[in-house]
Amino acid sequence: MLFVFFLYNFLFGSFLFFTCMLQSVAS
């Protein structure tokens, strides 16, 4: 169960980082 929690956190963090990178490139 803890592994799933860390995996979800990693995916969510990567998604936020990718979104921030796209916004910085677009602007």
Summarised one tens digit per residue, pLDDT across range 4-13 is 999 999 999 9
What are the C-alpha distances in Å from 21 to residues 1, 10, 17?
Answer: 31, 16, 6
Instruction: Name the residue ranges covered by the structural domains of the chain.
Output: 1-27
Give the DSSP letter string of 1-27. -HHHHHHHHHHHHHHHHHHHHHHHHH-
Q: Measured on CA atoms in the order 11, 15, 17, 21, is the torsion positive or negative?
A: positive
| pLDDT confidence of residue 27 | 86
Residue 23 is predicted with a pLDDT of 96
Could you tell me the pLDDT band of residue 1, with boundaries at 50, 70 and 90?
Answer: confident
pTM exceeds cut of 0.75: no
